[in-house]
């Protein structure tokens, strides 16, 4: 009998500000590599591309842009990497991704743009096999130090972002059977090791690779 060809897993980590996304992505990537998995760590926004540099300048308030325009640039920044993500997954590399399209919707809709409009430019992107959402209360997040210098790092904005993420979670869970995309929420207000253990519990079933073809976001 011929063996089913497996591709790499696409694991997205999303979450609120200072929920520990980058900390957990680095830990997960390290653990995957230690387990013998070929894995790549990526992050959005990818500030290294030309579009990424425009986003970086906007986030640092060095430039101003219409809310619609910056939203489209965040999405374009994902499309820049979409074919490379697909290629790597097909070649058997698993990808750990720090923020994705869900952050795009959460931040732009929090500024007052329509939820449906915010979702549309990311339709058809490679869909994650699992999205691990790191949830943290505003009180716990505050304990991790003051908000930084960047544009969205303000308490009022972060509260709105949390509400939109809740809406995304409900929508993703209601579409799960149809889309196959899995969304899990983890309490990220605990110590690093407890959070890492939960992240690993959700990532581990995927480390031997994925059989089904790469799905598309929201299609």
> Given the rule CB under 6 A, which residues bind ligand Z5A?
15, 17-23, 44-45, 59, 74, 99, 103-104, 107, 144, 150, 152-153, 191-192, 195
- Nearer Cβ to ligand Z5A (23/173): 23
CA angle 22, 185, 111 (to 5 degrees): 70
Q: Estimate the crossing angle of helix 67-91 against helix 50-59, to 10 degrees.
A: 130
- Whose tokens are 């979702």? That residue is 119
From the list 103, 97, 107, 105, the residue with the least C-alpha distance to 130 is: 97
Would you say 115 and 102 are in contact if contact means Cβ atoms under 8 Å apart? no
Binding track, positions 33-72, relative to Mg ion; x by CB under 5 A = ----------------------------------------
- Nearer Cβ to ligand Z5A (90/117): 117
- Nearer Cβ to Mg ion (13/210): 13
Which listed option, Mg ion, ligand Z5A, none, makes contact with residue 40 (CB within 5 to 8 Å by class)? none
Binding track, positions 9-28, relative to Mg ion; x by CB under 5 A = ------------xx------
Shortest distance in whole angstroms from residue 141 CB to ligand Z5A? 8
Q: Which residues contact 137 (CB under 8 A, 6 or more apart)?
A: 189
Cα distances from 208 to residues 74, 78, 92, 109, 204, in angstroms, run 31, 26, 10, 36, 8
Shortest distance in whole angstroms from residue 52 CB to ligand Z5A? 10
Q: Which stretches of the chain bind Mg ion, using CB under 5 A?
A: 21-22
């Amino acid at each position: 009998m011929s063996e089913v060809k497996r591709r790499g897993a696409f694991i997205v980590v999303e979450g609120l500000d200072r929920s520990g996304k980058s900390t957990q992505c680095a830990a997960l990537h390290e653990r995957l590599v230690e387990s013998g998995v070929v894995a790549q760590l990526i992050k959005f926004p990818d500030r290294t591309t030309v579009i990424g540099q425009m986003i970086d300048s906007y986030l640092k308030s060095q430039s101003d842009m219409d809310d619609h325009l910056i939203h489209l640039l965040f999405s374009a920044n994902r499309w820049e990497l979409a074919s490379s993500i697909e290629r790597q997954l097909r070649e058997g590399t698993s990808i750990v991704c720090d923020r994705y399209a869900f952050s795009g919707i959460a931040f732009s809709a929090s500024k007052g743009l329509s939820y449906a409009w915010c979702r549309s430019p990311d339709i058809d992107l490679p869909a994650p096999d699992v999205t691990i959402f790191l949830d943290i209360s505003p009180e716990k997040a505050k304990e991790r130090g003051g908000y930084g210098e960047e544009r969205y790092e303000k308490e009022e904005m972060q509260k709105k972002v949390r509400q939109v993420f809740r809406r995304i979670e409900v929508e993703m869970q209601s579409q799960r059977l149809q889309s196959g995309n899995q969304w899990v929420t983890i309490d990220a207000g605990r110590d690093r090791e407890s959070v890492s253990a939960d992240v690993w519990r959700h990532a581990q079933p995927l480390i031997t690779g994925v059989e089904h073809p790469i799905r598309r976001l929201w299609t």
